[in-house]
Amino acid sequence: MKQDRIISAILMGLALSAILGLSLIAVFVFKEGVPIVLRIGARDFLLSAEWNPKEGLFGIRSMIVGSAMVTLGAMLIGGTFSLGLALVLTQFAPPRLTHVLKPVIELLAGIPSVVYGFVGVQTLVPFIREHLGGPGLSVLAASIVLGIMVLPTITSISVDALQAVPRSYWEGSIALGATRWQTAHRVMLRAARSGIIAAVILGMGRAVGETMAVIMVGGNTLAVPRGPLDPVRTLTANIALEMGYATGAHREALFATGVTLFVFIMILNTVALAVSRRRSSGAAFR
């Protein structure tokens, strides 16, 4: 029994390394990034649109606006399409087709993000430049590429949520004379709601945090984007583009950009965890 206690202690020590990792990340990124925010003032850092490291001007408004626009666009595109796909796979497609397609979609979640970005540059960017105007490298291009990237994640989790709805709900609705579409959106979607919301929030986190694909199709200019055809630089792109050569206050400002991102992601995570916890406690009632 003494041996059991020792093993248990060792395992607990190893298990705490996830917490240790999280704390180290928070401590080191904050330690590097927070001082400069205090020096400049959080208001100026977050709200000024002047980013000029040579002049010592560090304002990230254009990146915050850029990240928000791109993420919103990605969720509109990715969310709509994955929801449609999930509904087809669970409510309308023959089971055998779903059986083949779901793993195919999950396989595609593994395509490296640089590859998504590259295909975007080669096909989507010239298309937007020629048919819609602007430089092509734009909020729209970044939103579409990110929307496609988060598709597999959102679809796969939404399919799981829809499949977890008890069969009797579907049977009850059909027996009452509802059409399949009425059943799908008034019964199944509503019953799977919290799972789908969790999936969308998870996809949103991925979209906000994505770096390489956005650098490739976004255009990376420093101006605040005014419309979907304007080029854009996100928070993540700002860090990845300039980290290679930044020193001193410039590097601190990039870490501060990371802190902004970190805080935003933690808020998203907490909301997602709360939603999915509500889902699992709801499941206990069934």
Partner 1 sequence: MSPRPIVLERIVVALLWAVAAMTIGVLLFIVGFILLRGLPHVSWQFLTESPQKMGREGGILPMIVSSALVAGLGVLIAAPIGVATAVYLTEYTRGGRVTAVIRFGADCLAGIPSIIFGLFGFVFFAITLGLGLCVLSGALTLAVMVLPTVIRTSEEAIRAVPDAYREVSYGLGSTRWQMVTRVVLRSALPGVVTGVVLSLARALEETAAVMLTAGSALRMPSSLLDSCRVLPLHFYLLAREGISMDKAYATAAVLVIVVLAINFLTYRLMRRFIGKAGQYV
Helices (H), 88-120: 95-108, 113-119
110 makes contact with partner 1 (CB under 8 A) = yes
- Report how far residue 273's alpha carbon sits from residue 170's, in angstroms, rounded to the nearest whole number: 28
**Ranges within 36-65 binding partner 1 (CB under 8 A):** none
Phi, psi of 201 (to 5 degrees): -65, -40
Residue 141 neighbours by CB distance under 10 Å: 32
DSSP code for 228? T
Tokens read off for 276? 């999915």
Between the two ends of the chain, the Cα-to-Cα distance in Å is: 40
- The residue (of 3 and 55) whose beta carbon lies closer to partner 1 is 3
Verify binding: residue 272, partner 1, rule CB under 8 A. Answer: yes
Q: Which is nearer to partner 1, 93 or 223 (CB)?
A: 93
Q: Does 19 bind partner 1 (CB under 8 A)?
A: yes
Residues 220 to 239: which contact partner 1 by CB under 8 A?
236, 239
Where in 146-175 is the site for partner 1 (CB under 8 A)?
A: 148, 151-152, 155
For position 118 contacting partner 1 by CB under 8 A, the verdict is yes
What minimum distance in Å lies between the beta carbon of 184 and partner 1?
8
Asked if 59 and 51 count as a contact pair (C-beta separation under 8 A), the reply is: yes
Give the nearer residue to partner 1 in terms of CB position, either 14 or 55. 14
Stretches 43-51, 55-63, 121-129, 134-142: which one binds partner 1 (CB under 8 A)? 121-129
Residue from 269, 278, 282, 283 that binds partner 1 (CB under 8 A)?
269
Burial 3-18 (b: 16+ CB within 10 A, else e): eeeeeeeeeeeeeeee
Among 75, 89, 140, 157, binds partner 1 (CB under 8 A): 89
CB atoms within 10 A of CB 189: 19
Closest contact distance (angstroms) between CB of 285 and partner 1 is 20
User: Using CB under 8 A, which of 45, 138, 210, 219 touches partner 1?
Assistant: 210
